[in-house]
Amino acid sequence: MELLGLSMAMIGLFVGFGLLIGVLFGFFGMGGSFLVTPALLVMGYPTRVAVGSGLAFVFGTSVIATLKHRDLGQVDYKLGLLMIVGTTAGIEVGKETVVHLESLGLAGSIISVTYVFLLGGIGAFVTYEAVKGDGGDGIDHDAAEEPADADDIPDIAKKIQSYNVPPMIDLRGGVTVSLWMILGVAFATGLLSGFLGVGGGFIRMPALFYLIGVPVPIAVGTDLFEIVFSGGLGSFLYALDGGVDLSIVVPLLAGSAFGARIGSAATSIVDEGEIKVYFGLMLLGGALAVAVREIGNVYEIPILNRVSLALILGSALLVSGAVVYSSITALREEHRASSPTAE
């Protein structure tokens, strides 16, 4: 039996894969194209279809996850719109840089090395900070409007917030920061996003927390809000050339919509320090996967492409499993603490 030109087994595979990605996307506000595109490429889809369908899927998932985060009060629309302005400008400059490097024949190698170091660097930094406990615990996920404790704001963000260059903008979570600092951070993340050719959630989400000082749940929700626009525009551009295949996107989205609900809800249950550990570990897994793939390409060892995909899928499966496990554990601990027998 076939549906949308796909066998039921393939539809089941896409729905299951979507569920996995949805958990990560809802929880971290990232991980869509980073996971889907390489998987579709290995499955034999043309690059244009893999990238275009990946972007369309990211667009749909980000719509769902943003709506869920909006319900939880974790989207700062003012910050999101400002980030869109700065990021768009940065992406344009990043793309021009790539065009220039391509004309010199250096684009591929420089981008790959930058990607591995950036992904690995952010992953190591986030993991280290989470393990160290700096700026980790204590922010109440349900109290997005309340000012964050000064101890919870990373030192770099405190420094950036201290620059009093008008106009100053009040953000959710009691954060006040100069408009120019927001645009500067947005431009820098857009520049990297355009240069590396990725959605940029893995750069933007930590940047919102570590550089601007926005509490992690709001950073995730606001990042997703921005991805709605960037993913929508990107997938539309690919759709113009027939790069969006609905037989891939529809089942993936059916699974991820459910997963995104689980992931988004988990941000209100799981401790913030744990969120950052998982985020860091997933980035480190991604960096290792890209490094393995590049080594495979340079030394012409095709099996390393599959090893790379296995690393990406393995780290995604491990981290999404950890998110679900931590949520269940937190619920049980909460139940034990509040039950009369605990007294």
Partner 1 sequence: MIEAGALSASVDGAVLIGVVLVEAIILYGVYGVVEDVLGQRVVNRLRNT
- Which residues, in sequence order, are bridge partners of residue 3? 6
Residue 223 C-beta: closest distance to partner 1, Å? 17
């699974």: which residue's tokens?
255
H-helix or E-strand containing 7?
Answer: strand 6-7
Query: How far apart (Å, rounded) are the C-alpha atoms in residues 22 and 57?
Result: 10
Q: Closest by alpha carbon to 279, among 224, 171, 167, 203?
A: 203
Q: Closest by alpha carbon to 90, among 209, 219, 226, 218?
A: 226
> What does the DSSP 8-state code read for residue 208?
I
Q: What is the phi/psi pair of residue 169, to 5°?
A: -115, 130
Window of 148-156, 171-179, 230-238, 278-286 that interacts with partner 1 by CB under 8 A: 230-238
**Residue 27 found at the interface with partner 1 (CB under 8 A):** no
Window of 90-98, 151-159, 292-300, 330-338 that interacts with partner 1 by CB under 8 A: 330-338
**Residue 33 found at the interface with partner 1 (CB under 8 A):** no
Q: Using the rule CB under 8 A, which residue among 63, 157, 289, 304 binds partner 1? A: 63
Window of 124-132, 136-144, 191-199, 237-245 that interacts with partner 1 by CB under 8 A: 237-245
Q: Using the rule CB under 8 A, which residue among 50, 56, 288, 289 binds partner 1? A: 56
Residue 342 C-beta: closest distance to partner 1, Å? 13
**Nearer Cβ to partner 1, position 114 or 329?**
329
């796909």: which residue's tokens?
6
Q: Closest by alpha carbon to 294, among 117, 98, 55, 53?
A: 117
Query: How far apart (Å, rounded) are the C-alpha atoms in residues 294 and 299?
Result: 9
78 Cβ contact partners less than 8 Å away, ≥ 6 residues apart: 169, 171
Q: Using the rule CB under 8 A, which residue among 84, 168, 169, 239 binds partner 1? A: 239
**Residue 64 found at the interface with partner 1 (CB under 8 A):** yes
**Residue 142 found at the interface with partner 1 (CB under 8 A):** no
**Nearer Cβ to partner 1, position 34 or 238?**
238
Q: Tell me the three state secondary structure of residue 169.
A: strand
**Residue 225 found at the interface with partner 1 (CB under 8 A):** no
Q: Using the rule CB under 8 A, which residue among 61, 161, 222, 315 binds partner 1? A: 61
**Residue 331 found at the interface with partner 1 (CB under 8 A):** yes
127 Cβ contact partners less than 8 Å away, ≥ 6 residues apart: 276, 277, 280, 281, 284
Q: Using the rule CB under 8 A, which residue among 240, 298, 301, 310 binds partner 1? A: 240
**Residue 15 found at the interface with partner 1 (CB under 8 A):** no
Window of 86-94, 186-194, 301-309, 329-337 that interacts with partner 1 by CB under 8 A: 329-337
**Nearer Cβ to partner 1, position 181 or 244?**
244
Window of 171-179, 245-253, 274-282, 314-322 that interacts with partner 1 by CB under 8 A: 245-253
**Residue 68 found at the interface with partner 1 (CB under 8 A):** yes
Compute how many residues bind partner 1; rule: CB under 8 A: 30
CB hemisphere CA count around 113 (13 angstroms): 6
Long-range pairs for 164-171: beta carbons < 8 A, 24 or more residues apart: 169/78, 169/79, 169/82, 171/76, 171/78, 171/79, 171/212, 171/214, 171/218
Interface residues with partner 1 (CB under 8 A) are 56-57, 59-61, 63-64, 67-68, 232, 235-237, 239-241, 244, 246, 249-250, 253-254, 257-258, 261, 328, 331-332, 334-335
